[in-house]
Amino acid sequence: MGRLLLALDATLASLAAAPRGLDVTISSVALIDPDDLHLPPHASARDADLFLMVGVDPADVVVWLDKPGVRLPVAVMLKSPPPEVVSRLDELSVAVIDVDPHARWERIYRLVLRVLDAAAAAPGAESMQAGSIGDLFELAGEVARRTGGLVSIEDARSHVLAYSSAGDEADELRRLSILGREGPAEMLAWLRQWGVLDALRTTDAPVPVAERHELGLRPRLAISIRTPHGDGSGEFLGAIWLQQGREPFADNTSDILRGAAAVAARIIARRRSAGSGHDDLVRRLLGARGDTIDATFLGTQLGMRPDADMHVVAFGGLNSDSSNASGTGWSKAFGTGPTPAMVSALTLHASAFSPLSVTTTLGPRAYVVLPDAEQEPTVAWAGSAVAAARRQFGVDARAVVAGPDAGLASVHALRTQGDRVLDAAQRESDLIEPVTTVAASTTGVLLGEIVALIEDNPELIDARVLDLAQRDEESGSDLTKSLRAYLDHFGDVRAAADALHVHPNTLRYRIRRVHELTGIDLDDPATRLVVALTLRVPR
């Protein structure tokens, strides 16, 4: 019930009584009119959890429910219920939700159904884009949080589809729109006069709407929602309206709105063909079902040209547990993967960069597929996405840009390349940049895979290094650490000593002790290579 109230927002409804708290489950709803009161509740509502009392006298509701043996609902919705009615229903352990007297019941009913449908998907279930933004209410909330404004999403006929929570900051136009009532005629006439409505149908850019104190109209930005064709010629599906609250909009609001419009277009389009399994299509494109990819079919379904030049950006280390971070500050605990909120933000960010992008998760990693993107801007965007993850969620992330390669059929191979770099980064984080390309990571990847091979085959490990490490553990010395620093700095004693924060003579003494204790000849190039590789194997 708490989630339902958050979705409806105070503009529509407020809680009058909650005798069993907000954690009670509501899974079904029924519309009740005066004729239904002549029947027992179980016959009228078929044991629904929530009753919407349409045109019913609140006092009659109490009489109807206050009978022995009646199965009571979890909650009822009433318009302006008197205190005595609220009190009696509270005694009956029935929650009371007070609905704005100007709200349209059909609007309330549709919104409740949407919330229940979203909840029925269950945590972890695949939505329209599993783990990412799959619902317009979720999208509205994300945009509101990132811009600092109040969001409403409308269809092509100006019917409100979803909105963000507003508190007491909503102006009259927003409030009436959410209630399902048409705004004052002078407001609509003013929007038409200034060309706002026409602009939404003819441009993809955000359209500003100035403040009008006499109409109670606060400043706004609006952007059109169109079918994703990438060239601005798509079908007009509706608009996203962003009302300014108490604070100015965020600096990057225009980019956020562009991304939100692209995401909203995909959600609305997928609603038209429910069951199309958008996320499943993206995963198939990435090779989740094997190497064979029907590029023509997937391109048609996802709105991408089969012969487009492709990039795949693979994100790993999306983990908020800082205790799992390595010494470089980058998370190595890939097991938990990104949270839905993280992928929601990534989806919005990617759509702002490329309206034709698609985002999904596979296991603990997230992937963004970008058709017809240039490599340099893609790398820059990946860097901004990693920075946003740090700023927004306080987490560390790595991003690997794979591509470009020709055609949708290349996406699986690109994803494999990105995974290869992320796997290597778990071992050789000091050799692989947090934001990188496949080509720039070649040394780190090859070294990481060689070290992994050595680790999996203990007979390849130099036993002298193991003995040295054992001595360090028993005596508390730092001979192993000193040996690695010496090799990493190509025998430059002064540079290695600086890295260890010791005097050069101290390091020279330790290197002599290594030779005395193990017999390792550091003047021999082959010996240095074998020892350096062994030192990289996790203890």
Residue 45: inside a domain: yes
The total domain count for the chain is 4
Residues 63 and 106 in one domain: yes
Residues 345 and 383 in one domain: yes
Residues 143 and 84 in one domain: no
Domain CATH number, residue 3 = 3.40.1390.20
Residue 181: inside a domain: yes
Residues 350 and 429 in one domain: yes
The last residue of one of the domains, among 440, 472, 500, is 440
Residue 434: inside a domain: yes
Residues 341 and 261 in one domain: no
| CB-CB contact of 348 with 142 (8 Å) | yes
Residue 468: inside a domain: yes
Whether the ω angle into residue 404 lies within 30 degrees of 0, i.e. cis, is yes
Residue 125: inside a domain: no
> Which pLDDT belongs to residue 332?
37
Q: Are strands 207-209 and 220-226 parallel, antiparallel or unpaired?
A: antiparallel
The last residue of one of the domains, among 405, 440, 475, is 440
Residues 157 and 237 in one domain: yes
Question: Count of CB atoms within 10 A of residue 218's CB?
Answer: 22
pLDDT, one tens digit for every residue, the chain (539 residues)? 988 888 777 778 899 999 999 999 998 888 888 877 887 776 666 678 899 998 889 999 999 998 887 789 999 999 999 999 999 999 999 999 999 888 878 778 877 877 776 665 544 333 333 334 457 888 888 899 899 999 989 888 777 788 887 666 777 777 777 776 555 566 777 778 888 888 888 888 999 988 888 777 889 999 999 886 655 567 888 899 999 988 899 999 999 999 999 999 888 877 665 444 677 788 889 988 776 778 888 888 888 888 999 999 999 984 433 333 333 333 433 345 687 778 878 888 888 788 889 999 888 899 999 999 999 999 999 999 999 888 888 888 999 999 999 999 999 999 999 999 998 888 777 778 899 999 998 887 888 778 878 887 888 888 888 888 888 888 888 888 888 888 888 888 899 888 889 898 888 988 888 888 888 888 888 888 888 888 888 76
**pTM of the model as a whole:** 0.55
Residues 59 and 96 in one domain: yes
**Sequence-distant (≥ 6) Cβ neighbours of residue 412 within 8 angstroms:** 285, 286, 287, 291, 293
Domain CATH number, residue 468 = 1.10.10.2840
Instruction: Give the N- to C-terminal CA distance of the chain in Å, as an integer.
Output: 51
> Which pLDDT belongs to residue 201?
84
Residues 161 and 36 in one domain: no
Query: From the CA atom positions of the chain, what is the Rg in Å?
Result: 30
Question: Count of CB atoms within 10 A of residue 113's CB?
Answer: 12
Residues 137 and 110 in one domain: no
Residues 178 and 84 in one domain: no
- Concatenated DSSP letters for 447-505? HHHHHHHHHH-GGGS-HHHHHHHHHHHHH---HHHHHHHHHHTTT-HHHHHHHHTS-HH
Question: Count of CB atoms within 10 A of residue 454's CB?
Answer: 18
Domain CATH number, residue 166 = 3.30.450.40
**Sequence-distant (≥ 6) Cβ neighbours of residue 457 within 8 angstroms:** none
Residues 506 and 382 in one domain: no
Residues 187 and 213 in one domain: yes
For residue 199, the enclosing domain spans 133-273
Residue 518: inside a domain: yes
The last residue of one of the domains, among 120, 151, 166, is 120
Judged on CB neighbours under 10 Å (0-12, 13-18, 19+), 347 is buried
Residue 228: inside a domain: yes
Question: Count of CB atoms within 10 A of residue 367's CB?
Answer: 24
Residue 278: inside a domain: no
Domain CATH number, residue 402 = 3.30.70.270
Q: Give the ranges where 307-441 is alpha helix by DSSP (H).
A: 340-353, 375-393, 411-425
